[in-house]
Structure 1
Amino acid sequence: MITPDYYYVIVGGGLAGLQLASRISQDIFFKGKKIAIIDPLSKSIEDKTWCYWEKGKGNWDDLTIHSWKKAGLFSSEIEKITDLGEYSYKMLSSIDFNEAIKKQLQLKEEFIFIEDEVEKIDPVTRTAIGKNGSYTATHFFDSRPDPGYMEHKKYSMIHQHFKGWMIETEKEHFDPSMFTMMDFRIGYKNATCFTYVLPLSPKKALVEYTFFTPFLTEEDVYDKQLEKYLKQVLKIQDYRILGTESGNIPMTDFPFEEQNSDYITKIGTGGGWVKASSGYSFKNSEKKIDQLIENIKSGHKPSYRLLNKRFRKYDAIFLHVLLKRNDLGEDLFMKLYTRNSIQDIFRFLDEETRFSEDIKIMKSLFHPQFMKSFFKKI
């Protein structure tokens, strides 16, 4: 029998790949196992921020840029400020995260970084074939999404697309103890869209305009909506843009997990780890990796019970509602946040609630379209 090049190959050095590598490096169970992380690009620029809610202290607090204990929700008719209780909402930069993990792994002789683009994985020969070479392993953790998932007509697809400006103002305009989770006061053509504000100081904040829509839009639309929000809602006339960030997060019920096998486990976006109804991935990935590691140590396949079928159905129904009635977004989200505690919502989105609690939350959202989507998806 030919000895493979590596015990594990992690395809993709993004969020999920680096989280997985970090977790493996800290567990003595994997001591001495040679692991390759293969990624086509060396990330060396600030490309995005990640935000997530969390109880108490977390694994990444040393990297946190800022955290908030209060959240604001706004519509044309409702203004709600809520205390997060035992939760905090935390923000960190992807470049800080990438550099910290790489520095940690470079101290471990078991890990090697390879700059290459994997084009396919052959499960028979257990070989990842890249543009620059091929790599054998006992198991592959693959973060590449199925290339056809966005065009598949059987499943719902909502794009969470956004653009944010990091701005600095002449005068003090922001409360750095409170972030704005959703502000619907600047709308767009019967679509689900809102502004998201993360204040870092009284004069500095990330202001982001976000769409949850089946369609994409032109670049200048985001800029116009951000300008409107700053002038009409926040009453800010004088500011300068320190930086920008933009992106498109896929929110879909596509069954990525069906591509898992004895020798390949799909992770990250490629594994369906982006929470389909919210687009959140940072904390979700961390929880999936904890389960994956426990599966390996218990003798199960790494993908064993990684995805909760009950919550996958909830996500599928909600996505279908937004797909068919995208104009309902403001009403649904405001019902969610005004009829339930923020702590219960976080637990529901983290898939930690009991079925009886799920029913209560779903009742608070009721609209006839949910029944149509229920029968379509279930």
Structure 2
Amino acid sequence: MSRPSGAPDETSDVVIVGGGASGLSLAHHLAETGTSTVTLVEAPDGPRRPPERTWCYWERGTGDFAEAVSASWSRLRVHGTDGRTITVDPSPQRYRMLRSTAFERLVHSRLARSPGSRVLRATADTVHDTADGAEVHCTTPDGRALTLRARHVFDSRPLRSLPPARTQLMQHFRGWFVRTDADRFDPAVADLMDFRVPQPRHGLAFGYTLPLAPDRALVEYTEFSRAPLTTTAYEAALAHYCRDILGLGAFTVESAEQGVIPMTDARFTRRTGPAVFRIGTAGGATRPSTGYTFAAVQRQSRAVAAALRDGRVLVPT
């Protein structure tokens, strides 16, 4: 839901800055508790709004977001460098895929049904504490200045730089959503790591295949190293993986996605002032050994919502 702003100053119990996985998740869990009025500030359409992304995670049961899950797998496979495979059943967990557009649509519909919750399309310029809470200074799509006041602000925007650490690597990747001319995939099995790809001089590389149908899949090339590649280098690695290792034959690339995930043992500051908190990757929710974030964000969001319901404020480690 999105509604126009009425006055230059607006007040909520909670303002959430950023409509990515962590911002949407916290808004959802706060709306579920129903004890706080919530304003979720999302970037307007344009260069600040990120492209569609894919989030994967393990979960038991049906979970909170079953309506938005685009695929799931009960078996996971790893290919060694020598071609040998290991296939496991992670039961009672299932491996699930969410696309950001479907997740956003689901959470927005739930916020629309929650009294006191809303989505505001605006650019968050600054966030700072006040004597009785915090303020978020925004610019609306039509150029108006808008001040949002809240008892608590949760900021999910990416950090400008990572905190100091002993280890700082990047998990960086590019993926193709491919459609093959013939059935090439087993939709029941996800290839979590395929180490048959050529290994870089420094770091580690693997392929990643999530079948969506017998003739459709998300195929990714991933590296763990200190710096991302050029798009041209990712494309060459993906072409080699699809053609020479997976043997897909003729196929069409329907869309692509690309990303960089920090892999670090840095300590992330979760509280930047009496009323301002960081959540998601900015608050240290990314698992440093794997890069997985979505499930940790759910645990973090549930803990924050429960704490606010009980009259406390907490962003867990």
Normalising TM by the smaller chain, what interval?
A: 0.7 to 0.9
Is the CA contact 2:181–2:249 (under 8 Å) kept in the aligned structure 1? no
What's the offset of the Cα at 1:172? Answer: 1.4
The alignment status of 1:99 with 2:110, answered yes or no, reads no
The alignment status of 1:187 with 2:198, answered yes or no, reads yes
Task: Name the residue aligned to 1:331.
Answer: none
Q: Are the structure 2 counterparts of residues 119 and 163 from structure 1 closer, same or farther at C-alpha, using a change threshold of 3 Å?
A: same
Map Cα deviations across residues 79-128 of structure 1 (whole Å, 9 max, x no partner).
21112221111112110010111122123341232222223222134222
What amino acid is the match of 2:81?
S
Q: Which among 177, 189, 193 is matched to residue 188 of structure 2?
A: 177
Q: Secondary structure at the match of 1:105?
A: helix
Q: Which among 215, 223, 226 is matched to residue 238 of structure 2?
A: 226
The RMSD of aligned alpha carbons is 2.1
Q: Secondary structure at the match of 1:256?
A: coil
The alignment status of 1:147 with 2:160, answered yes or no, reads yes
Deviates most, 161-170 or 118-127: 118-127
Is the CA contact 1:145–1:256 (under 8 Å) kept in the aligned structure 2? no
What's the offset of the Cα at 1:46? Answer: 6.3
CA–CA separation in structure 2 for the residues paired with 1:22 and 1:203? 34
Map 1:242-321 to 2 at 5 A.
242-303=254-315, 306-307=316-317
Task: Name the residue aligned to 2:59.
Answer: 54
Q: Secondary structure at the match of 1:65?
A: strand
Q: Are the structure 2 counterparts of residues 23 and 154 from structure 1 closer, same or farther at C-alpha, using a change threshold of 3 Å?
A: closer
Q: Are the structure 2 counterparts of residues 274 and 154 from structure 1 closer, same or farther at C-alpha, using a change threshold of 3 Å?
A: closer
Map 1:109-124 to 2 at 5 A.
109-124=115-130
What's the offset of the Cα at 1:153? Answer: 4.6
Q: Secondary structure at the match of 1:95?
A: helix
Task: Name the residue aligned to 1:138.
Answer: 151
What amino acid is the match of 1:27?
T
CA–CA separation in structure 2 for the residues paired with 1:114 and 1:297? 23
Q: Are the structure 2 counterparts of residues 102 and 202 from structure 1 closer, same or farther at C-alpha, using a change threshold of 3 Å?
A: same
What amino acid is the match of 2:41?
I
CA–CA separation in structure 1 for the residues paired with 2:122 and 2:307? 29
CA–CA separation in structure 2 for the residues paired with 1:27 and 1:81? 40
CA–CA separation in structure 1 for the residues paired with 2:44 and 2:269? 26
What's the offset of the Cα at 1:269? Answer: 1.6
CA–CA separation in structure 2 for the residues paired with 1:100 and 1:57? 15
Q: Secondary structure at the match of 1:254?
A: coil
CA–CA separation in structure 1 for the residues paired with 2:161 and 2:212? 39
Q: How many residues align?
A: 298
Is the CA contact 1:262–1:301 (under 8 Å) kept in the aligned structure 2? no
Deviates most, 223-232 or 89-98: 223-232
CA–CA separation in structure 2 for the residues paired with 1:45 and 1:148? 18
Q: Are the structure 2 counterparts of residues 297 and 219 from structure 1 closer, same or farther at C-alpha, using a change threshold of 3 Å?
A: same
Task: Name the residue aligned to 1:329.
Answer: none
What's the offset of the Cα at 1:59? Answer: 0.9
Task: Name the residue aligned to 2:25.
Answer: 19
CA–CA separation in structure 2 for the residues paired with 1:206 and 1:4? 42
Is the CA contact 1:160–1:279 (under 8 Å) kept in the aligned structure 2? yes
Percent identity among equivalent residues? 28
Q: Are the structure 2 counterparts of residues 153 and 285 from structure 1 closer, same or farther at C-alpha, using a change threshold of 3 Å?
A: closer
* Structure with more of its chain in helix, by fraction: 1
Q: TM-score of the superposition, structure 1-length normalised?
A: 0.74
What amino acid is the match of 1:34?
T
What's the offset of the Cα at 1:148? Answer: 2.6
Structure 1 gaps of 5+ residues are 308-378
Q: Which among 34, 39, 53 is matched to residue 36 of structure 1?
A: 39
* Structure with more of its chain in strand, by fraction: 2
CA–CA separation in structure 2 for the residues paired with 1:60 and 1:25? 14
Task: Name the residue aligned to 2:6.
Answer: none
Task: Name the residue aligned to 1:83.
Answer: 89
What amino acid is the match of 2:225?
T
CA–CA separation in structure 2 for the residues paired with 1:4 and 1:155? 43
What amino acid is the match of 1:11?
V
What amino acid is the match of 1:38?
V
Task: Name the residue aligned to 1:352.
Answer: none
What's the offset of the Cα at 1:179? Answer: 0.5
Q: Are the structure 2 counterparts of residues 24 and 48 from structure 1 closer, same or farther at C-alpha, using a change threshold of 3 Å?
A: same
Is the CA contact 2:198–2:205 (under 8 Å) kept in the aligned structure 1? yes
Task: Name the residue aligned to 1:127.
Answer: 135
